[in-house]
Every structure is written in C-alpha cells, then in structure tokens.
Structure 1
C-alpha cells in the first residue's frame, strides 16, 4: 500500500520511469492528444467528463510525487491573461522556472523527444495546458 496520495497505477508508473529532464504534459480538454504528441508516448486518460478532472487536480499531487525544475505554459492566442496560470504558479512555487510560449511552440515541445507521459484531463479552461520538466531528486 502506498502512502502517497497519488494512487493511479499507470500515472505512477510513468512518473517512476521519468528521469531528470524528461517532460510531463498535463493537457486540458481541448488539447489535440494524437496530433500534438508522439504516438509512442503513453497517454493517461483522466478526462472522465468535461470539467472533471482538472489540470490543477493532477498538477498538485504530481508536484508532491516528483521534483520539478521548470514548467511551460501555453499562452492565449490573443495575448490575454490565462487565469489558470495563476493557480499553476502558486502550486509550482517561486523556485520553478516558468516559460510561457505560443500554441505552436507549445505543441513543438509536446511533440519533442523526452516527453515521458501525457495526462488528458477534462479541464475546460482555454490554454490550461502545462509541460513540467522533471528535476533532480534531493538526497
């Protein structure tokens, strides 16, 4: 029995297999799972229905399970502030480097080598996607 709050077996396995510099994509409900990722990357489906489960619901326990050194957010196409990013910044804390890139640059990152897992959520907020870069575990 695990003592961590993260109990989803496929997600735990993917996180355990990820190493320093690998990427974890947590995708909103609008993210094009198959065209914006390499087909060989495992997809964990947590998108039960629209609005459930949200990106923040996944982000918070993932941050307690793996060290994260950086994050990339998807910018709004019109340059507007993305409300979800405030929640993510708060959860990530001040020591995690954050980059905000346009949609096409974001998709380039999600298609690149080094993506360990993509987590599909039902988050309906626009541009609520995040890519986490796995850091180094402190001894």
Structure 2
C-alpha cells in the first residue's frame, strides 16, 4: 500500500516512469486537453462533475508523491472577457498547498501561448484533466530530483 496521498494506479505508473525535467499538466475543466499536449503525453480524465476534483486537490496528491522543481501557471489576461485585475484566487490555494508540502517554490506565470508551447514538448508525460471551473487554474509541474 502506498504511503503518500496519491493512490490512482494509472497516474502512479506514469509518474514512476517520469524523470528529471518531465512535465505534468494539471488541467482545469476548460483546458483543451485532447489537442494541447506533448506527443508522448498520456491523458487521464478525472473530471467527474463540474468542480470535482479541483486542480488544487490533484496538486496536493502529486506533491505528496514526486519531487517538483518548478511550477508554472497560465498568465492572466489583462483585457477581454477573461481578464482579471490581480492573481486568480486559485493561485493562493496553490501557494498554501506548496507551503504545506514544505516546498520553497514560487508560482511562475507564463504567457498563454508560451504555456501551450511548454505543454507541447516531448518532456510532457502526463495531463490530468480535472473538472475545476476556476479561471486560470491550469498548472504545469516540472519533475525534480529525489534527494533522499
């Protein structure tokens, strides 16, 4: 039996095979997961019903299981229908989860199109599609090195 929070067998198998610099996307419910992913990336759909599960819940499970060296989010737009005045509320949830896992990492916002490019590389091994309805909830993790 696993001791960390992540118990999903398919996700566990994929992250066990991932190495340093591999990337894992936790996608919100609006992300085009079928078309915006790396050529080798596997897609696991966890979207049960609107809002279940959230990206932050998946983040918590993954951070309990793998070393992470970088975390990127899709930068908010400043004009248009999806514009926000500041950081989306979900980013504060991420910061709390990251801190609770004892990590000293900052969220790095990346331009929308650069974010899509980062997800489309050969290093992208997994997209976990959630049903999170919050704007700008997509989060891209870069796998680090196990130090213990």
TM-score range for the pair, normalised by the shorter chain length: over 0.9
**Structure-1 separation of matches of 2:4 and 2:139:** 22
Equivalent position of 2:8 in the other structure? 8
Equivalent position of 2:76 in the other structure? 76
74-83 vs 59-68, which deviates more? 74-83
Structural RMSD (CA) = 1.4
Equivalent position of 1:86 in the other structure? 92
**Structure-2 separation of matches of 1:10 and 1:31:** 21
Deviation at 1:2, TM superposition (A): 2.3
Contact 1:24 1:117 in 2 (8 A): yes
Deviation at 1:114, TM superposition (A): 0.3
Q: How does 1:46-125 map to 2 (within 5 A)?
A: 46-78=46-78, 80=84, 81-93=87-99, 95-125=104-134
**Which ranges of 4 or more aligned residues in structure 1 deviate by more than 4 Å?**
none
2:62 alignment partner, SS class: helix
Q: How many residues align?
A: 139
1:127 lines up with 2:133 in the alignment: no
Unpaired runs of at least 5, structure 2 = none
Contact 1:6 1:12 in 2 (8 A): yes
**Structure-2 separation of matches of 1:107 and 1:51:** 23
Equivalent position of 1:137 in the other structure? 146
23-32 vs 72-81, which deviates more? 72-81
Unpaired runs of at least 5, structure 1 = none
The TM-score with structure 1 as length reference comes to 0.93
2:64 alignment partner, SS class: helix
Deviation at 1:39, TM superposition (A): 4.6
**Structure-1 separation of matches of 2:49 and 2:126:** 20
Deviation at 1:98, TM superposition (A): 2.8
